[in-house]
Structure 1
Amino acid sequence: MFIYITHSDNQSFLANTNCPVLLLLSHLRSKVGVPPSEAIDVCDKLGNPKMLFQVKTMQDRASDFLLARSTYYVCRVEFGAPGTAQEQTAQSFVPLLKNPSVALTEALRLCGQHPHRKLLRSLKTPEGKKGPGTETLPAAARTQGVGKAVGRSTSRPREEQHGPPRKTPLPPRGRQQPRPR
């Protein structure tokens, strides 16, 4: 799965999302020329940052947060002043484009004012949404497949479960051996 990354003067390149988020961000830093000391993120065309800079483990895959074949813009994340309560909070997102659109800049500015609200909204979108946990599934869905582990099912006849009945091969035709008496 690949995505399009746009930066600088509308330069773009492909990036593979079948990797950990931390590896993708490291690759983006090297391609765009951002030093490792600066935090970066990507945003979609509507200016919704994906909050990838908050990922801390290698288990989180980039493909869980980003849609394949979509275009994303690299943004620099600016935090609050050191020594304040907002030191660890993203205050603004600045697109790394020469001439960003007004709509993109405004959307990123609004997101910087309400980062937690945007984070929740981005996690609810199909591209940032992981599968539901079992606590949110209906009771019927939680028990689905329980009997199938031991070869039992409750609702479908045998033909629907495993396909049509198999034919057993016939012994080869030819001269039959006489039975011992």
Structure 2
Amino acid sequence: MNEANTGEDHIDGILTAWKSERPDLDLEHMGPMMRMAFVFQHVVMPVGEAAMAEHGLQQPEYDVLTTLRRSGEPYALTPSALSAELLMSRAGMTKRLDRLEAAGLVERTPVPGDRRSFLVTLTEAGREAADAAATAVAHRIGQLTAKMPEHELAQLDHALRSMLAIGTRDK
């Protein structure tokens, strides 16, 4: 693995400007958080989105298809379960499902014995699209993280797990 560049970066410039303009602000912990946000938005997301696009998917569709795929056979969930899993409104989910159903990637089927409920089920084409896109995304992200020393990746994972635990505990 290659050693990552540890010199000054764009975030250092932002922090320096803030220190000059607002020396009263405590910015000690801002650098890592700003880098995390920048890396996710400008490095990780574009890599994943490019892999999805190769399979004709955008992030919203990918999220629904892969959520259904990882739910296990029969690859079916209620719209409310999908909304809860993806942390989105039911109205937004309905729009996504309409597009995916029109593309032949999911189908809506009534729940036996409950006229008000239905399941969203992956079609064979939807399962194939989810598998192909998930494989491509995992490969691309793997290529990206393979450039980091293993101990740094492990430290990053540990730090992010800690932050996730703190953030979700304090809600």
- Same-fold status (TM-score > 0.5): no
Task: Give the alignment's TM-score, normalised by structure 2.
Answer: 0.23
Task: Give the alignment's TM-score, normalised by structure 1.
Answer: 0.22
Which of the pair is proportionally richer in helix? 2
Greater RCO, 1 or 2 (C-alpha within 8 Å, sep 6+): 2
Which of the pair is proportionally richer in strand? 1
